[in-house]
Chains A and B, each alone.
Chain A
Amino acid sequence: MITKGITKQGKYYDSVSLMIISNEINKLSGVIDSSIVMGTHENISILKVADLYISDFDNVDDTDLLISMKVEKEEDFDNALVKLDELFNELSNKSDDDSDFAPKSLENAIKQMPEANLSLISIAGKYAVAEVWKALKSGLHVMLFSDNISIEDENKMKAYGLENDLLVMGPDCGTAIINGVPLAFSNVVNRGDIGIVAASGTGLQEVSSIISNEGAGISQALGTGGRDVKKEIGGKMFLRSMQALAQDNDTKIIVLVSKPPHESVQAKIAAEIKNINKPVVSILIGGNPKVLEEAGAFSANTLEEVALMAVKLSKGEDIKSVSTDTDFSEIVEKEITNKTPEQKYVRGLYSGGTLCDETQLLFKDKIGYAYSNTPLTDVFLMKNVWESTENIVIDLGDDEFTAGRPHPMIDFSLRNKRIIQESTDPQVAVILLDVVLGYGANMQPSQELAPIFRQALENNPKITIIATITGTSGDPQNKELVEQELQNAGAIVMQSNASAAKLTMEIIAKLNN
């Protein structure tokens, strides 16, 4: 083992960047430890104690950047320096990109990139409508992330889109993957032959991530916004997206994901399925799949199941071999043995709306309706969302929680607080939550959640924490790493929301028997 280092002059970085770079260097093979710090007299004293000091640092200044590493051999240091340069370059390129591409208007953006054919609009709803019209009139497809758009405006935009062969994804469209480019909240998935149309943001993320994790891939993933399948909009973009995927040579299998469409829209989707000469797999979360089955689609009960069915089709395997029934008895027995008689309830704290719905639906038949801010039936609407009672499953991404703060997929603070709060309730047996990875989401989920889990388990060591991760190993946060760190913090991590919900309900059912 040797300690080697270099200094860089005239380079200034904030501590976040230095921490990130240092973490990356520490991951390299042959690097035992590293430190990248400004050369203050005090930091030098720390380097000496940490055995990371080298004589080259004898005459450095406060404003010099000191890079020091303990490595197995000389070659490891050289390799690390190459990586270090890459990381520093990425940082400065990122800054350059920011300044080069900072158009202040859609018109300027089009001037900067005249070949663009899609615009992503994410500004306050009241300003967004005008921008959408500018984009459409300029011949651009639109992904509209903004919400608070009237249904009348949505209808007009989508009618214009249909007339002019332009997609209008949204409003409130949180995710899409176009030609391999992830937009807004989305995951880094394999490219492949499965196309997705979804009127559900986290539904699309969960399905596309599972498909990718199972070794298949996505051709296109088109979001429509949840209201598209309502009567007023009539499924304009859902149907148009189905047609687009039917015509797309790279798409061999089509997956449809939606909350229950209006009856009239469902009939149109069924009619469209009959026109498509490709296998169609569908999930209508909480809806009746019969109409689509009669039209020739395969239907699934969970997001996990629809993803696995699509994977089977993609691999040319028998779709009937898909099984999502897992024997949880061993885990259940282990988890119930240490519970007190008081511990009977689950507190589901979700950042993804569709995942929240799916969990409630799965719970319904096994442990009954859960109280929620977005309940399956109004009887179970929480009177006060800040106070928990019995079984609850909350969507923390709903308006009442997001006013004046970022979405809970980005900002964990509210949920962290809630986890701690629930952990002090002696009636709580299970805390269930989703962790959505990918672009746009919180970049340090495990760093933020692990101490919270530890604190919750310190408050009540008998609580079970069950987490489901929506994401892939390609995501910037890296699913495997997050999974490992959450497990180290005491959580049970499941591979899908459906399996997390099923495990939870088996534990709760057993505790209540």
Chain B
Amino acid sequence: MKQPTHPQTTASGDSLKAGKYILHSRFTEVVNFVCDNNLLVLAKDIKYLSPNTLIVENVNIKQINEVILENNQIKILPENINLKIKNTISSEFNFELANIEKTNYILSKLQNKYLPLFPAKSLAFLLDNNRKKHFQTAFERAFYQQITEGASLINNNQILEGIKNIKGRGLGLTPSGDDFVAGVLFALHFKEHLYNKDLSKLRNNILEIALSKNIFSNNFLIFAHDAKFFYRFKNFLEKAYNNPDNLEQPLNQLFEIGSTSGADLLTGFILTIQYKL
């Protein structure tokens, strides 16, 4: 079968906002663009799909300086390529898949069987004390200490204080702490469904505290607050609820990109489900 060689979009997130986006940062497979407080991500592989991402094919994403998004079309500059946005993938999760029993079963499996798959430098030390040994430099030790204190505060129902201790902490463009907070926000949606509670006020307060000048984290956190799931996390959850005895492959897919990002998110998710909120 001959593969198409013309530029095209192959998938898109469902929360793209119109605007003239300028280049923010480039990575090997992903390029980020900003317009006001909005972020648009162009990526080569669907594994990077999030509500504000466009997956493109046969486009040299590293040469793009500007993207104009309007009327279900994008114009890529300077090459002046016009592409139709197609194959919009929903970021909504079907909460009907989840019940308390299944959720507890998945969480116990993750903790008892699959922790070795969590990257060494991830926040999974909050699930397993033995992982402290992976944090050896002065920065890492202080990081470990502050995150542990934050999680402890959350566990003692001083949730907002705990979030303050965790958010924004971590090395790169999307700090581990923010991934953790996103996991907390996603988990709150589950708790609302599982226990028929209204936790919207808590979600709003957490978001308010967690927002910063980091446009990446902000977009990420707002999506989590609004229950707009990233493709790889949604994929993991769907597979986990449909086949809770086989979590290895979905976990590996979740952990495949972003260094510790997937594991940090999941750690926040697991702990929040377990906390008595």
> A residues touching B (Cβ–Cβ < 8 Å)?
12-19, 22, 26, 33-38, 40-43, 45-47, 49-52, 61-63, 70, 94-96, 98-99, 102, 104-105, 404-405, 411, 413-414, 416-417, 420, 447-448, 451-452, 454-455, 458
Is B71 engaged at the interface, CB distance under 8 Å to the other chain? Answer: no
Selected from B60, B116, B172, the residue in CB contact (under 8 A) with A14 is: B172
Contact B171 A452 (CB under 8 A): no
Q: Is B212 an interface residue (CB 8 A)?
A: yes
How far does the Cβ of A24 sit from chain B's closest Cβ, in whole Å?
13
Minimum C-beta distance from B234 to chain A (A): 20
Of listed B143, B172, B248, residue having the most chain A CB within 10 A: B172
Residue on A nearest B264 in the bound complex, by CB: A15
B residues contacting A by CB (< 8 A) are 5, 24-28, 58, 60, 62-63, 116-117, 120-121, 130-131, 134, 137-139, 141-143, 145-146, 167-177, 212-214, 248-249, 252, 258-261
Inter-chain contacts of A416 with B (CB < 8 A): 116-117
B175 engages A43 (CB within 8 Å): yes
How many Å from the CB of B129 to the closest CB on chain A?
A: 12
- B156: shortest Cβ distance to chain A, in Å? 20
A50 to B5, Cβ gap below 8 A?
no
Are the C-beta atoms of A63 and B138 separated by less than 8 Å?
no
- Can you list 19 A-B pairs with a CB-CB distance of less than 8 A? A14-B173, A18-B171, A35-B137, A42-B146, A42-B167, A45-B146, A46-B142, A47-B139, A50-B138, A51-B138, A63-B213, A63-B214, A99-B62, A104-B5, A405-B252, A413-B117, A414-B248, A417-B117, A455-B116
The 7 closest A-B pairs by CB, nearest first: A15-B172, A42-B168, A99-B62, A12-B25, A50-B138, A35-B139, A49-B142
Q: Is B5 within 8 A of A15, CB to CB?
A: no
List 5 extra interface pairs beyond A16-B259, A33-B137, A452-B116, CB under 8 A.
A15-B176, A42-B169, A46-B146, A95-B26, A411-B252
Q: How distant is A414 from chain B, measured CB to nearest CB, in Å?
A: 8
Task: Assess the B139–A14 pair: CB atoms within 8 A.
Answer: no
Give the residue name and chain of the B residue nearest to A45 (CB).
B146
A97 to B206, CA, bound (A): 42
How far, in whole Å, are A12 and B173 apart by their CA atoms in the complex? Answer: 6
- Hey, which chain B residues are within 8 Å of A95, CB to CB? 26-28, 62
Shortest C-beta distance, B148 to chain A (Å), equals: 12
Query: Smallest CB–CB gap between B171 and chain A, Å?
Result: 4
Please, which residues of chain B bring their CB within 8 A of the CB of A47? Answer: 139, 142
Given contacts A46-B146, A47-B139, A62-B214, is CB(A18)–CB(B5) below 8 Å?
A: no
Choose among A22, A36, A49 the residue with the greatest number of B CB atoms under 10 Å from its CB. Answer: A49
> Of residues B131, B173, B258, B260, which shows the largest number of chain A Cβ atoms within 10 Å of its Cβ?
B173
Q: Which of B138, B177, B213, B259 lies in contact with A19, CB distance below 8 A?
A: B259
B169, A33: Cβ atoms closer than 8 Å:
no
Report how far A102 CA is from B58 CA in the complex, Å. 10
Q: Does A33 contact B138, Cβ atoms closer than 8 Å?
A: yes
Q: Would you call B138 and A35 a contact (CB within 8 A)? A: yes
**Alpha-carbon distance A102/B63, docked complex (angstroms):** 12
Question: With A36-B171, A50-B141 in contact, do A14 and B259 touch (Cβ < 8 Å)?
Answer: yes
Contact: B248 with A413, CB < 8 Å? Answer: yes
